[in-house]
Amino acid sequence: MKAISLTGIKPTGTPHLGNYLGAIRPALDLAQQYEPVYFIADYHALTTVQDASLMRDNIYKVAATWLALGLNPEEALFYKQSDIPEIFELNWALSCITPKGFMNRAHAYKDKVAKNIEAGEDQDYGVNMGLYAYPCLMNADILIFNANVVPVGKDQKQHVEFARDIALRFNKTFAPIFTIPEPIIQEKSDVIPGLDGRKMSKSYGNTIEIFLESKALKKKIGKIVTNTQSIEEAKDPDSCHIFALYKLFASPEATESLATRYRAGGLGWGHAKAELHHLLEETFQEARTKYFHLMANPLEIEKILDYGAQKARLRAKENMEKIREALGVS
């Protein structure tokens, strides 16, 4: 039996290059070596997405993205979190052995509290219980399928460490049934910069979506912030946001060649942006066609997710039986 690689993506908007490089691409690479268990974390998204038609649309987008980029639903377990009720049962059981202090220290909650205090608000202003207990549900996602590795962006490392800790506690308190998961963080792409150089994130509005039509992509790339150096001036590739994105997709030779052109002078920001545009178009051309086909045929997506849910539930049920037995409730 192959070891399991598991990860989830929240349907909170249109997937962007940060999601692709930080989460999707590394996860797909691991699918060669591990059994992939990849899912859509819709109940995690519910902490912020509270509009049914938006939720549905976001779920289609995330599902179509995984499928277009090459996830094979025959080889993978590919499902929507909300279709697996055992995850929510395990969530409760785990919450009973999770110290409340862990949640206080979880970075998303901690950041929110710090911002509230700075703004002179009550510290829990705008915090729902879903946001507060978010890492606990994530632990259930990971442990229910006994994941060996969890590929995630750097910001999620803490959550996987919680899952390790809780698995160890459970194993010690009840029975040694959980695998201790290992986070896998892509060093090369741990924080992908956005249009403004800050971490690319939907919440900063600085994203480049993975599948954009050529014109829209050009417009987005046009917004990458640069300095005021003239065309003739020699430029430093390593402090340039365009180059930072370029090198994540280009071959080492192409990267070196563009770096040389930067340093030589005579390359304007417009030229560098055109290089990036060309490279992204080429990289995603095939997947983009598949993505738009799926988005135009949501029933196809639903069929694939239903199939995945059936397969995943069989496994989740089997594991939940063992967990219930360990807890003494069955």
Tell me the site size for ligand ADP, rule CB under 6 A: 19
- Separation CA 27–CA 6 (nearest Å): 8
Q: Is 154 a catalytic residue?
A: no
Considering only 5, 7, 47, 189, the residue that binds ligand TRP (CB under 6 A) is 7
> Is there binding between residue 47 and ligand TRP (CB under 6 A)?
no
In this structure, what token pair is assigned to residue 37?
């268990």
Report the residue number, 16 or 44, with the smaller CB distance to ligand TRP.
44
Least Cβ distance, residue 147 to ligand TRP (angstroms):
7
Residues ≥6 apart with Cβ < 8 Å to 55: 11, 42, 45, 46, 49
Q: Is 199 a catalytic residue?
A: yes
Q: Is 191 exposed, middle or buried (0-12, 13-18, 19+ CB in 10 A)?
A: middle
> Is there binding between residue 46 and ligand ADP (CB under 6 A)?
no
Q: 49, 24, 40, 34: which is closest to 3 by C-alpha?
A: 34
Least Cβ distance, residue 93 to ligand ADP (angstroms):
25
Least Cβ distance, residue 156 to ligand TRP (angstroms):
5
Instruction: With beta carbons less than 8 A apart as the criterion, state whether 229 and 237 touch.
Output: no
22 interface partner picked from ligand ADP, ligand TRP, none, CB below 5 to 8 A per type: ligand ADP
Q: 156, 157, 182: which is closest to 168 by C-alpha?
A: 182
- Separation CA 46–CA 131 (nearest Å): 9
> Is there binding between residue 235 and ligand ADP (CB under 6 A)?
no
> Is there binding between residue 90 and ligand TRP (CB under 6 A)?
no
Stretch that binds ligand ADP, among 174-182, 192-200, 237-245, 261-269 (CB under 6 A): 192-200
> Is there binding between residue 22 and ligand ADP (CB under 6 A)?
yes
Q: Which of 80, 202, 235, 247 is catalytic?
A: 202
Q: Where would I find the beta strands (DSSP E) of 180-262?
A: 182-185
Half-sphere exposure (Cβ direction) of 49: Cα atoms closer than 13 Å: 21
Considering only 5, 201, 206, 319, the residue that binds ligand ADP (CB under 6 A) is 201
Considering only 141, 221, 276, 295, the residue that binds ligand TRP (CB under 6 A) is 141
Identify any residues that bridge with 75 across adjacent strands, giving them in sequence order.
none
> Is there binding between residue 58 and ligand ADP (CB under 6 A)?
no
Residue written as tokens 């994203």? Answer: 207
In one letter, which amino acid is 313?
R
Quick note: the x/- pattern for ligand TRP over 92-131, rule CB under 6 A, is ----------------------------------------
Phi, psi of 220 (to 5 degrees): -60, -50
141 interface partner picked from ligand ADP, ligand TRP, none, CB below 5 to 8 A per type: ligand TRP
> Is there binding between residue 200 and ligand ADP (CB under 6 A)?
yes
Q: Is 112 a catalytic residue?
A: yes
Q: Which of 10, 80, 199, 220 is catalytic?
A: 199
> Is there binding between residue 199 and ligand ADP (CB under 6 A)?
yes
> Is there binding between residue 25 and ligand TRP (CB under 6 A)?
no
In this structure, what token pair is assigned to residue 56?
């549905």
The residues assigned a catalytic role are 112, 199, 202
Q: Which residues in this chain contact ligand TRP in the complex, by CB under 6 A?
A: 6-8, 10, 41, 44, 138, 141-142, 150, 152, 156
